A and B are shown apart, each in its own frame.
Chain A
Amino acid sequence: EIFVVDDFRVDIEKHVNKLYEIVRELYSNTKDKIALWELVFDPSPKIVARTFLYLLFLANMGKIELIQEEPFGEIFVVPLEN
């Protein structure tokens, strides 16, 4: 289990950080919340699922906030200042 998680983390950390950079850049440009869709670059279920998972990681790390008004409603991302 530990091995799997480690492997996942090593692989994922890079992507998560990159996604965070993108979120920050987008936010610094618009100073507005970012829709989930804007962060998905390839419309395949796998990419969507992955992106969603990375955002959850970032939220868990306290780097962004995920905002959703209603179940299955649109999901927005706002980076948080430390």
Chain B
Amino acid sequence: MPYVEKLEMRGFKSYGSRKIVVPFSRGFTAIVGANGSGKSNIGDAILFVLGGLSAKAMRATRIGDLIFAGTKEEAPAKYAEVAMYFNNEDRGFPIDEDEVVIKRRVYPDGRSAYWLNGKRTSRSDILDVLSAAMISPDGYNLVLQGDITKFIKMSPTERRMIIDEISGIAEYDEKKKKAMEELKQAEENLARVDLLIREVKTQLDKLEKERNDALRYLDLKEKLEVARTTLLTGEVKRLQNLIAESRARDEEIEVEIERINGELENIAKTIVEKEKTLTQIERELEEKSEDGILDVTKKISEVASKIELAKKNIELAKKEISESQRRLAKAKEDLKNVSAEIEKGKSTIERWKKRRENLIAEIQKKEKEKNELILKLAEIDKNFTIAKQELDKVEEELENAKKTQYFKESEITKITEEIERIKSKISQQSTRRIILKSKLEELKAEINVKKSELSEIDSKIEKASVRLREIEKELEKGQEKLEKIVPEIKKLNEELIKAEARKEVHQNKTLEAIKNANIPGIYGSLAELIRVRDDTYLTAVEVALGSHADNVVVKDDKVAEEAIKFLKRNRLGRLTFLPLNKIKPRKLDGVSKGIPVMDVIEYDPQFKNAVAFAVGDTLIVNDMEEARDVGIGKVRMVTLEGELLERSGAIVGGYYRPRTKLAINTDEIKMALASREKEKDALESQINALKLEQRGLERELFELRVRKSDVSKDLQMLQKEMDRFLNEDKTLKEEIETAENRLKELESFIHQTKGDLAKLSGRVERLEKIRNKLRKALDNPEARELNQKIREVEHEISKLREELSKVESRLENLDIRINEELIPRKADLEEEIEGIVNRINAFKASIKQNEEDIKSLQAQLEELQEKEQAVKDELKALRDERDRLREEISQMREEKEKLRDVLQKLRLEANSLKIKMAQYESQLREKESELKHHDVKVVKEIPEDLEKLREEIEQMEDEIRELEPVNMKAIEDYEVVERRYLELKSKRERLEAEKDSIIEFINEIENQKRNVFMQTLNAIARNFSELFTKLSPGGEAKLVLENEEDPFSGGLDIEAKPAGKEVKRIEAMSGGEKALTALAFVFAIQHFKPAPFYLFDEIDAHLDDANVKRVADLIKEASKDSQFIVITLRDVMMSNADKIIGVSMRKGVSRVVSLSLEKAMEYLEKARAKNANALGL
């Protein structure tokens, strides 16, 4: 492999104008020096001499800036020149020299000149020579300053293209290009042939169609003849069959009509019978439902209301009993209390009596004592005695008065209490009365409501009954009408059938067709447009019209033309048209006898000309005699019998069968029939509506009657309740009156007693004054003492008496309480209890009575319900019977209708059969004569479906028409063109095969290219993984194709996992990691395919010493195969190099010294040994 021996520079960048030689050698050369001394300029010089064009890559603005710019002491250079000396002993360059020198010079204007081994040459020649030795100015073996990460930064596709280049697959691309050109050529040939094939094919297709048409035409002609003959034969047979069938059917129909007529008669009879029965049942039903059921229903409601009343009474009685029992309990309680009180009062009286006796005894004792004292005093003063007596009298009187006073007061208190009691009772009763009054009002209102309801129901019943009677009358009327209309309809129907049958016989088919064609401006045939006023002239007019009867009146000649075209187009026959704008009327000239035909007919005036054209010149005469009178041949005439005397003198006569074209008018009959049918429908729907209403009314009436009985019952109940309330009110009123009278008595008594009391008080006052006066008079010392004593005794006595009087009054009170209050109260209570007990018994008896009543009533009710049910059942049976009969009658009527329909249809069928038979016969004759022109032998088999055969014939005819004109020559021409077409086809197949083989070849090349690429990539990828692990121990990395299926459609990714870290996207790696990854990539390529030399400028800037050492070791090892020139500042890197180039700058000019590290080591080793010896070590 060639290597760089030295670099010579002149005027290049910082290296001054003098020639500078930088010696290189095989292996590892390091370029060192301070920053800015110009060591990278050596790298730039290498790039320059190899033909680099980018000034920027060489760290200059322009190529001209590469020239040494000069310093203070040194002049600028005129040009910059770099020469590179390669060792070519192994002929790595395709030049037969041991040394290859390339030189480049650049002038200030940017112009470059190149020399190869001293000869001027062009840049491209230089590049060719270099690339032969796998060197290029922008190869991956040149890594400039800061450029180490370019392998990282480049796109995956750029990275893949490096592998492309190394694997040399460009060769395959070249082959492929050639093959593609061949393919294009093949495709063009193919397209040309295709064009020819298309043209020939078009021609062939056209001929094929014509040939087929010709063949088909011949075939069709033959088939058509056979088919036509077959059809004729078939039709003859069919017509024969049809005639036979029609005859048979006609006979059948006659028989059937006979049978149906008989059946109809039977049904009519049965219907009459059933209707009679029905009327009877309906009458019965009416009677029963009118009287029977209403009576029973009414009774039932009465009994039910009685039961209801009895139940209510029982309930009331029960309530009363419970109320009475409550009151009884209370009265008994009261009685007990009163009795107890009486007992207590009596014993108290006993006690008090004893006390009174004691008091009387004591008073007597004291009186005795007093009397003794008074006797003593009397001895003292007689007068005194008198006074004393008087005093005594007064005092006694005073005492009595006070007693009376006390008694009266207690009496007043008692009466007051009684008054209070009475008052409260009155107020209670008044309240009760008010409640009763409001209840009564309510009841009255309710009763009024019920009464008005009742009257409303009555009026409704009345109304419904009236309406019901009306409906019955209407129904009767409707039925009568209906019975009249039905036979009329029947008659009209028969007439219609006859008229239609007749009309059909005389119908002109062509005329019908033109009328149905819907051509505007066609008015109809003359026969249709004319009406004969008097039937006497019917025959005459018909004969006069003659063949003109079917003439068609049209608006103008254009319409006539259109109609004629229509008839022609559809092969419908011929007709005479009378265009109103062209037709000329005929006239009678001066004939006085007979009647002109124009005078006996009616028509629309607008058709006058057309009518006159037909009969305007014709005269009606009574007979031939009259005709002779007029003059035969003078004018066109017709007799009433139908003889026609032409103007020419020709006379037509004989038996005339009326065609009755003029007389037949089904429309009128149809209209009459329709109006009758309509009338009938109206009547039927009216009858139905009436029946519906009738049923509704009957139901309503029944409901109303039930409701009426309900309301009556309610009303009775309400009335009874009201009576009860009125009674109670009356009793209360009486009681209140009594109480009020008593109250008045008591109040007047109190008033009187109070007056007495006032009098008594005055008396007491007076008596006390007298007593005091007397006492003063009795005042005497001796007597005073006595008096004192007497008074003391008297005082005691009076005290005792007072007590006694109290006791007595008490006794009296008690006595009064017992005798006047408690005992009467007791008697009252006893009486009340007895009354209540009686009342309870009375109620119980009432309950019993009511219960018995209920029982008997319920029995009655059941009986009545049974009766009602019986009546209902009977009614139901009758109704069912009625409904059944109605149903039967209607079914029979339906059947009758159906039979009539059948009959009508049969008649129609018979008529049409007759017409058809005549048609069939004429058709048969026609066909048989036609068949004579054909060869019957060709007929093999007659198909069932002649219609289909006819269609086939039409199709064949159509097809033959369509095929014409036929090119018979096409049969031969087709074969010639077909041969040409097949030739072209086979040529095309050959070309196709050629094209396929080219495509196969291209695929083969692609495959090879891929294989070569994959081999290269796999080897480099393996190297890369190994080298990365070596550079980053513990780390892993691999090269991954973006698209493994088709490597060339995608790029090449680097996946790196530095030691102890996760897989990193390469963009996210540190500078050092990136540098290591890139170096692994560069060395992977170097190991696979080493370049002659490598230039690395400061690839170690971001690496720590350990990594630099690893890189340096790698370079050292790789330098066995390739030359390495490494620009560095790191001593670790330097110390691994074989040679070191030192760069320094002095006064703006870079200088170079070179050091062989091997030699230095050898020398130093020797010197050290020498020194050691000299020192005696």
Binding site for B on A (CB under 8 A): 1, 4-5, 8, 36-37, 40, 43-46, 48-50, 52-53, 55-57, 59-62, 65-66, 68, 71-72, 75
Most chain A beta-carbon neighbours within 10 Å: one of B36, B1131, B1137: B1131
Mind listing 30 A-B residue pairs with CB under 8 Å?
A1-B1102, A4-B1101, A5-B35, A36-B1160, A40-B1164, A43-B1164, A43-B1167, A44-B1135, A48-B1160, A49-B1137, A50-B1134, A52-B1140, A52-B1155, A53-B32, A56-B34, A56-B1142, A56-B1144, A57-B34, A59-B1144, A59-B1146, A60-B1145, A61-B34, A62-B1147, A66-B1142, A66-B1144, A66-B1151, A71-B6, A72-B23, A72-B1139, A75-B1155
A48: B residues at CB distance < 8 A: 1135, 1155, 1157, 1160-1161, 1164
Cβ of B70 under 8 Å from chain A? no
Q: Which 10 A-B pairs have the closest CB atoms?
A: A43-B1164, A59-B1144, A49-B1134, A71-B23, A45-B1135, A60-B34, A46-B1135, A49-B1135, A68-B1153, A60-B1144
Give chain B nearest CB distance to A30 CB in angstroms: 17
Bound form: Cα–Cα A56–B1163 in Å: 21
Chain B residues contacting A61 (CB-CB under 8 Å) are 34
We find that the number of chain B residues with CB closer than 8 angstroms to chain A is: 40
Within 8 A of A (CB), among B1138-1177: 1139-1140, 1142-1147, 1151, 1153-1157, 1159-1161, 1163-1165, 1167-1168
- State whether the Cβ of B193 lies closer than 8 Å to any Cβ in chain A: no
* Residues of chain B at the chain A interface (Cβ within 8 Å): 6, 21, 23, 32-37, 1101-1102, 1129, 1131-1132, 1134-1137, 1139-1140, 1142-1147, 1151, 1153-1157, 1159-1161, 1163-1165, 1167-1168
B1100 to chain A, nearest CB (A): 10
With both chains docked as a complex, state the minimum distance between the C-beta of A35 and any C-beta of chain B, in angstroms: 10
Cα(A59)–Cα(B35), bound, Å: 12
Q: By CB atoms of chain A within 10 A, which of B21, B34, B1151 has the most?
A: B34
- Alpha-carbon distance between A75 and B1156 when the two chains are bound, in angstroms: 11
B23 to chain A: closest residue by CB: A71
B35 touches A46 (CB 8 A): no
State the main secondary structure of chain B at its contact with A: mixed
Are A49 and B1157 neighbours in the complex by a CB distance under 8 Å? yes
Distance to closest chain B CB from A18 (angstroms): 16
Q: How far is the CB of A44 from chain B (nearest CB, A)?
A: 8
Question: How distant is the Cα of A50 from the Cα of B1163 in the complex, in angstroms?
Answer: 17
Residues of B within 8 A of A43 (CB): 1161, 1164-1165, 1167-1168
Chain B nearest CB: distance from A50 CB in Å? 5
Tell me, in angstroms, the Cα distance from A40 to B1171 when the chains sit together: 13
Bound CA span A4–B1136, Å: 20
Provide the bound-state CA to CA distance between A48 and B1161, in Å: 8
Contact A68–B1154 (Cβ < 8 Å): yes
A72 touching B1142, Cβ below 8 Å: no
Cα–Cα distance between A40 and B1162 once the two chains are bound (Å): 13
- Do A71 and B21 touch (CB < 8 A)? yes
Contact call B1157/A45, Cβ cutoff below 8 A: yes
Contact A62/B1146 with A5-B35, A45-B1135, A48-B1164 known, Cβ cut-off 8 Å: yes
CB distance from B1146 to the nearest CB of A (A): 7
CB distance from B219 to the nearest CB of A (A): 102
- Do A49 and B1140 touch (CB < 8 A)? yes
**Are A50's CB and B1131's CB within 8 A?**
yes
A62 and B1149 CA atoms in complex are apart in Å by: 12
Interchain CB contact (< 8 A) of B32 among A4, A36, A56: A56
B33:A60 contact, CB within 8 angstroms: yes
Q: Are B1131 and A37 in contact (CB under 8 A)?
A: no
Docked complex Cα distance between A35 and B23 (Å): 21
Residue of A whose beta carbon sits closest to that of B1141: A71
Most buried by A among B1146, B1157, B1165: B1146
Instruction: Give A68 to B1154 CA distance when docked, in angstroms.
Output: 8
Least CB distance, B1081 to chain A, in whole angstroms: 22
- Least Cβ distance of A54 to chain B in Å? 10
B33, B1134, B1145, B1154: the one within 8 Å of A72 (CB): B1154
Docked complex Cα distance between A59 and B1146 (Å): 7
Q: Please name all residues of chain A whose beta carbon is closer than 8 Å to the beta carbon of B1129 when the two chains form the complex.
A: 5, 8, 53
Known contacts: A4-B1101, A43-B1164. The answer to whether A72 contacts B1159 by CB under 8 A is: yes
A61 to B35, CA, bound (A): 11
* Bound complex: CA A68 to CA B1143 (Å): 12
